[in-house]
Amino acid sequence: MVPGLGNYRHTPVMLEQVLAFLKPAPGKIMLDATLGGGGHAEAILQKLLPGGKLIGIDQDSDALEAAGARLAPFGEAFCPVKANFGQLKAVMEKLGYDALDGLLFDLGVSSYQVDCPGRGFSYRDDVFLDMRMDRDLPQTAAGLLKELPARELARIFREYGEEKWAMRIASSIVSYRQSKGPVSRSSQLVEIIRGAVPAAARRKGGHPAKRVFQALRIAVNNELEVLKTALIQGIELLQPGGRIVVIAYHSLEDEIVKKQFRESARGCICPPGVPVCRCNKVPVITVLTKKPLYAGPQEVAENSRARSARLRAAEKKFNHIQSSKQIGR
């Protein structure tokens, strides 16, 4: 077991809302695309028995080991899979399933990953800048900081971290590595950021390094592009009446979810005035949350990770193939 893995306890965020929207019940087949320590999965499995099945996906081997131990009492009702959630269709095909009754995404980085020194996600400890959720990936955050030019680093900080001082920070990183060598430790990067960001800006908005660290993590793991792929595949895999629930933790993730739900719930896109629909586009989901839901004050007080959580949910109306047949009637 990895040192400290016993501390990988997952306190599930917005659990009551997740269960209310997913509606797990005996005999249903559901998939937790972000298994983590298995907190959501445990509660879902309790409602799937007897006869139900939960597939749990995670690209982090530590998470799979921790969740496997926690969920072992459920036996064959739980099926853990090491994979990136952008591979949903491939995972389902390999397991021999073609449809789901429910699908959960709890996005972002886990508390364990942040707190574990060897993972390199934290700006509060002096650690190697790894940031890979799947440690089989070839590129680390330190590698990006060593190889990328200032303009590309600035783009990453601006687009993935919404960092106002992106170019100043990127230029300072390049200057540092030219004079002192690679930026490979979190303490080095934090010090560079502190020096690049004006004093007035450092005094507000939380830790000055949080946006750059978020941006690097997203870039290393290609999180936003993978999320786009996963949402499309996930909605396609749901059978009619099946539900998808997504918990996002920052505006970039939430905007992707909102746009995909809106697109999947949208009907005809033919130009105004066209007498007969030619696009054959019909809504395949019904959005159940017109606006994102947030954790209540008591949950936030008990679990600080819930503070930035926002939940969206949708229900599958019918499959695309079915909708095309209906249009052709």
Residue 93 counted as domain residue: yes
Instruction: Look up the CATH number of the domain holding residue 252.
Output: 3.40.50.150
What is residue 3's predicted lDDT score, i.e. its pLDDT? Answer: 44
What are 307's two structure tokens? 């503070």
Answer yes or no: do 244 and 284 share one domain.
yes
Residue 139 counted as domain residue: yes
Question: Is 120 in contact with 140 (CB distance < 8 Å)?
Answer: yes
CA 124 to chain centre: 22
Answer yes or no: do 217 and 230 share one domain.
no
Residue 111 counted as domain residue: no
pLDDT one digit per residue (tens) for the chain, 329 residues: 444 454 556 789 999 999 999 999 999 999 999 999 999 999 999 999 999 999 999 999 888 999 999 999 999 999 999 999 999 999 999 999 999 999 999 998 776 677 777 788 888 889 999 999 998 899 999 999 999 999 999 999 999 999 999 999 999 999 999 999 999 999 999 999 999 999 988 888 789 999 999 999 999 999 999 999 999 999 999 999 999 999 999 999 999 999 999 999 998 888 888 888 888 888 999 999 999 999 999 999 999 889 999 999 999 997 654 443 333 32
Ramachandran area for residue 96 (φ above 0: left; ψ -120 to 50: alpha; else beta):
left
Q: CA-CA distance, 65 to 63, in Å (whole number)?
A: 5
What is residue 319's predicted lDDT score, i.e. its pLDDT? Answer: 66
Answer yes or no: do 165 and 249 share one domain.
no
Q: Can you give the residue range of the structural domain that contains 305?
A: 5-106+223-327
Residue ending a domain, among 221, 239, 261, is 221
Residue 74 counted as domain residue: yes
DSSP codes, 222-281: THHHHHHHHHHHHHHHEEEEEEEEEEESSHHHHHHHHHHHHHHT----PPTT-SS--S--
Answer yes or no: do 268 and 317 share one domain.
yes
Q: Which residues contact 211 (CB under 8 A, 6 or more apart)?
A: 157, 161, 162, 163
Total number of domains in the chain: 2
Answer yes or no: do 102 and 228 share one domain.
yes
What is residue 8's predicted lDDT score, i.e. its pLDDT? Answer: 58
